[in-house]
Chains A and B, each alone.
Chain A
Amino acid sequence: MTDACFQLKGSVFTTIILELYQYSRESFTQQLKDKINQAPGFFHQSPVVISLEKINDNVTEVDFDELLDISRQFGLQPMAFKCTKSHFKSAINATSLALLSDSALRTTSRKPLPESSTLQASSSMEEKKLVPRKSKIVTRPVRSGQQVYYEGADLIILSQVSEGAEVLADGNIHIYGALRGRALAGINGDTSARVFCQKLEAELISIAGNFILSDFMRTQAWQQAVQVYLDEHILHVAAV
């Protein structure tokens, strides 16, 4: 198989969807400018799908070439249209961008995307990973029966986590107190996430789906300040 030029793979990307309600050159330009000025770094070189699903019924014609030009001027990378309304189809085809029908999106049997945009999509995903991760600070004890999770963030707890409580994070978990409940770090698969605590008395610690239970932890650095990290699918407990 060394002489193979390529391999076809299915993949899912997260993209921004620009939902168009109506279109006029002036207001579209102005509103896009305002939106992008709010977070220029975030939108830079972002692949965008333009959706006409929510367009007002009285809009029958849109100058798509002009719309695409304006979007590109602001650094967006329009890569496809999403539309089920038949009267726009010929105009969309004329732009040579892909047309995603609703069913295509639902069944994930995707039409191949233009090669260039796919590449840009993945490279811009990489860029997004470099954006500093948010962190959420919890100042009060997390009590039995409570669950704390903030999407896409590291979790910093300035108190204890009680038995029967659960703290979850996409990133790291820092606990400046005793951990007696459950701590699950990297729940979206980040294997580099770690759990830190001042006093290890946990019921369960998990990183990216790999977990250890208190029976195992009792043989390690029980009741000490520790960090827990993942190496080769095995969780390690180390005193800090």
Chain B
Amino acid sequence: MAEIIVVTSGKGGVGKTTTSAAIGSGLAIRGHKTVVIDFDVGLRNLDLIMGCERRVVYDFVNVLNKEAKLNQALIKDKRNENLFILPASQTRDKDALTQDGVKNILDELSKTFDYIICDSPAGIEKGAQMALYFADQAIVVTNPEVSSVRDSDRILGILQSKSLRAEQGDEPVKEHLLLTRYNPGRVADGEMLSVKDVEEILVIPLLGVIPESEAVLKASNQGEPVIFDEGADAGYAYKDAVSRLLGEVIEFRFIEQEKKGFLKRLLGAR
């Protein structure tokens, strides 16, 4: 049985797809057979971030409508043999998703994969609800600013009330907080919420803190998940998050300003 993990946020543009690609890749690097599904039907992005856009022939909706077999639609990653992508359809909309159809696909994937990562669209409507409905775990991606935190709070409420686990009264969906675009310097200046502020509002366990980094934008544009970038802070932060997801206890990096502060002081003294 595969573990189904939804990457969600409520708000758009906070880094869901970047996170899905990085976490999915990270799990694959660690030797787990992983598939990342793009639930953003109509606004297909995951294929770009993962650099497989030119290999998309069949998509999620084709499989759902039985126009193609699952194996025809799954794209095998070029970098890691454990990693697969199921792209969204660009020509359809969220109404193409049905609960039964999604269930069938997830059931079939569960037979062969260890992890299924569901990259949720923004919002709280049908697409987002479909992505989270069957989830065992949820990674809630949040930026350190008030509107993103409030939207995350909203999506946590939906996870509690509208997921299959909630409806059946099973053990609730396991929630993880992933703070992205974190800039300790701006936190110190009071321009950004701190890790502690966000934890206090959302009261869910922290999975990782991804520092604001130019490497993320570069990675997206090159179609290479940032976790493969050996020199990037953000890549290490994602690797740490993957380790925590697998149950390891690791100290948090990149959340203190100290080093940068020292450098800044040096630069300022110049």
- Using CB atoms and an 8 Å cutoff, list the residues of chain A in contact with chain B: 140-146, 159-160, 162-165, 178, 180
Contact = CB atoms under 8 A, between A and B. Distances in A.
B157 interface: yes
A164 B203 contact: no
A140 B161 CA distance: 11
Contacts, number: 37
B203 A165 contact: no
Nearest to A143: B157
B263 interface: no
Given A143-B156, A159-B203, A178-B200, 6 more contacts: A141-B156, A143-B154, A143-B157, A144-B150, A145-B124, A162-B201
A147 to B, nearest CB: 10
Interface residues of B, number: 14
A140 B160 contact: yes
Contacts of B150: 144, 162-164
Interface string B149-160: 011011011101
A145 B157 CA distance: 7
Contacts of B161: 146
26 contacts: A140-B160, A141-B203, A142-B157, A143-B153, A143-B154, A143-B157, A143-B160, A144-B150, A144-B151, A144-B153, A144-B154, A144-B157, A145-B157, A145-B158, A146-B157, A146-B160, A159-B203, A160-B203, A162-B150, A162-B157, A162-B201, A163-B150, A163-B153, A164-B153, A178-B200, A180-B201
Contacts of B203: 141, 159-160
- Interface residues of chain B: helix, strand, loop or mixed (majority): helix
Interface in B141-169: 150-151, 153-154, 156-158, 160-161
Nearest to A177: B203
Contacts of A145: 124, 154, 157-158
A178 B153 CA distance: 14
A162 B153 CA distance: 7
A162 B149 CA distance: 11
Contacts of A141: 156, 203
A162 B203 CA distance: 10
Contacts of A140: 160, 172
Nearest to B152: A144
Contacts of A162: 150, 153, 157, 201
A143 B172 CA distance: 15
A112 B124 CA distance: 54
A160 B203 CA distance: 9
Nearest to A145: B154
A142 to B, nearest CB: 8
Interface in B192-247: 200-201, 203
Contacts of B200: 178
